[in-house]
Structure 1
């Protein structure tokens, strides 16, 4: 059977083992359900793919990618059914918590919490990049939050959804020049349709962390054309309210030239320092920022307040 957007498989048993319950999310490639593994008696997340000739290679690629990665900040793949019999699905670790996108609807996060999220996600990206993979869609909706069970910690973060991931130097699964990703978090090079590199994920993560700190999206253009023009003509505004050290890290991560951005491990180091240091926002409205390991330095007069931006529907 082909799975259109309107189908709801809640209540169905897949593979004589996985009971599907509530729908957790939906995207262009399929629907994710909360499920229950009746054999191992644990909750799972089940991604049921929509079928189409152009998606077969991609769903198989996603399975191989997930199976090859192992890190506490990456969602673990448990099982896969990608044979001729439909529906085709993946069974993954269920994270009992909100997405970062859902959490941010209540407002910005405290700096120590953002530093924890930054360290978790940058470590995950380091593992991903070491495997020769570019995620290509780092955004709040793809960040899952889980209570860490440690006193004084609000949650830890996990990176999910490798549905549009790209293998560096591998055969493309998309047409050259195609823009892939979510408009609000695209890097400048992504909007031109060139082959993505790990530095593109660093840029997107910088935008995610900036939004987590301020509660405002740096690029709120809803249309792809508007997003392209904005990304090629301006840098994200890093307000002084985030503090000098956070400003230095975020400015480097969102440098327009990919060569000027830090590596994932440099971001991990910076985030760990920020967790251990008490930072205060400077009173001056002008700052020069930089980060070790990156040549990015930007001087700008930054506003202390900007308008609240509308949420993304894509």
Structure 2
């Protein structure tokens, strides 16, 4: 155009470039802020999952049980005086276990009080109680020599109580702590007993979902009983679990559990594998300093390599700890392998 300076197009192009760079800079700032907010949300979600494991036992629960002191044992009663509390046997994220006396049948029993997640609305708490009652009653259907027998399921002052046989035994984790890593042949025998009771439960449609050394009770004759079927659920039933809640112990949970996917018999076989790994090696295959780190290891890291488990036990354990449930051996395959191990090792 006549009268327009020769450098005008360059000035215009420079102005456009400045505008574009400014817009790009604004985009980068917004993108970085969005990524930061997303990371904060993910960290908060991971923290909530961790707190479900690390703080549940410290939350306030039913005063009928938790206000009892040692001096009061023998005086506190439950269910209209039928059960007299004698001592606390242990507690964890899902409940408190007591030794108690059944005045009606004249015998001592173990009573587990299931603890719903705290802080929920009355409707959520009622939903949790309904779920716990249903699952405890499902566990009561299981009758097997290697399972802790459930005598009764009660609702007492808002708490779900599972009345079980009192087993005089030591947990597998305490056994390993006292005796050290167990011989491969003994571990294979323990695996066979666990597999038998799990197969029986799976035949009823019940998935344990929390197979770990603390739930394996070792008796004086070295036979075992698998405990804590009270948090199992029927396979395929709709779960009433509060959204986002995770049930289990991080280092012994299967990858599909951590991802919130459906549990299956293969989930319990993962728990069996990681439990036997601990028994023969003396340490967890995915043990980490924190629950979050343990969950991350289960999802992304290979298990530790067996050092004490000789072939073929070592490779068998590794096959049980495959991330994909469909790649794990079946119960029938596992029974055949373990049976041979008990004879050949």
TM range (shorter): 0.7 to 0.9
Inter-partner Cα distance in structure 2 for 1:89 and 1:198:
26
Q: Note if 1:207 corresponds to 2:274.
A: yes
Which of the residues 160, 165, 171 maps onto 1:99? 171
CA-CA distance at 1:247 after TM superposition: 1.4
Rg comparison, structure with higher value: 2
Secondary structure, counterpart of 2:263 in structure 1:
coil
Which of the residues 184, 195, 209 maps onto 1:136? 209
Secondary structure, counterpart of 1:174 in structure 2:
coil
Secondary structure, counterpart of 1:59 in structure 2:
helix
- Against the structure 1 CA distance between its residues 24 and 192, is the aligned structure 2 distance closer, same or farther, given a 3 Å change threshold? same
Taking structure 1 as the reference length, the TM-score comes to 0.79
Q: Note if 1:74 corresponds to 2:147.
A: yes
Inter-partner Cα distance in structure 1 for 2:244 and 2:112:
28
CA-CA distance at 1:128 after TM superposition: 1.4
The 8 Å contact of residues 183 and 222 in structure 1, kept in 2 or not, is answered as no
Inter-partner Cα distance in structure 2 for 1:87 and 1:192:
29
Alignment of 1:138-287 (within 5 A): 138-148=211-221, 155-175=222-242, 178-278=245-345
2:101 counterpart residue number: 36
Secondary structure, counterpart of 1:78 in structure 2:
strand
Which of the residues 60, 74, 86 maps onto 1:21? 86
The 8 Å contact of residues 176 and 193 in structure 1, kept in 2 or not, is answered as no
Inter-partner Cα distance in structure 2 for 1:61 and 1:121:
24
Secondary structure, counterpart of 1:204 in structure 2:
helix
2:32 counterpart residue number: none
Secondary structure, counterpart of 2:210 in structure 1:
coil
CA-CA distance at 1:125 after TM superposition: 0.8
Q: Deviations over 1:95-128 (max 9, x none)?
A: 1011112112121112222122111111111011
1:61 counterpart residue number: 134
Inter-partner Cα distance in structure 2 for 1:271 and 1:196:
24
Inter-partner Cα distance in structure 1 for 2:300 and 2:159:
44
Residue ranges of structure 2 left out of the alignment (5+ in a row): 1-59, 117-124
CA-CA distance at 1:48 after TM superposition: 2.5
RMSD between aligned alpha carbons? 2.3
Residue ranges of structure 1 left out of the alignment (5+ in a row): 149-154, 279-314
The 8 Å contact of residues 216 and 225 in structure 2, kept in 1 or not, is answered as yes
Q: Deviations over 1:176-235 (max 9, x none)?
A: 664331011111222211111111111111011011001011111243432232122222
The 8 Å contact of residues 135 and 234 in structure 2, kept in 1 or not, is answered as no
Taking structure 2 as the reference length, the TM-score comes to 0.72
The 8 Å contact of residues 189 and 196 in structure 1, kept in 2 or not, is answered as yes
Inter-partner Cα distance in structure 2 for 1:21 and 1:175:
33
The 8 Å contact of residues 134 and 168 in structure 1, kept in 2 or not, is answered as yes
The 8 Å contact of residues 109 and 164 in structure 2, kept in 1 or not, is answered as yes
The 8 Å contact of residues 62 and 158 in structure 2, kept in 1 or not, is answered as no
- Against the structure 1 CA distance between its residues 130 and 244, is the aligned structure 2 distance closer, same or farther, given a 3 Å change threshold? same
Aligned residues: 271
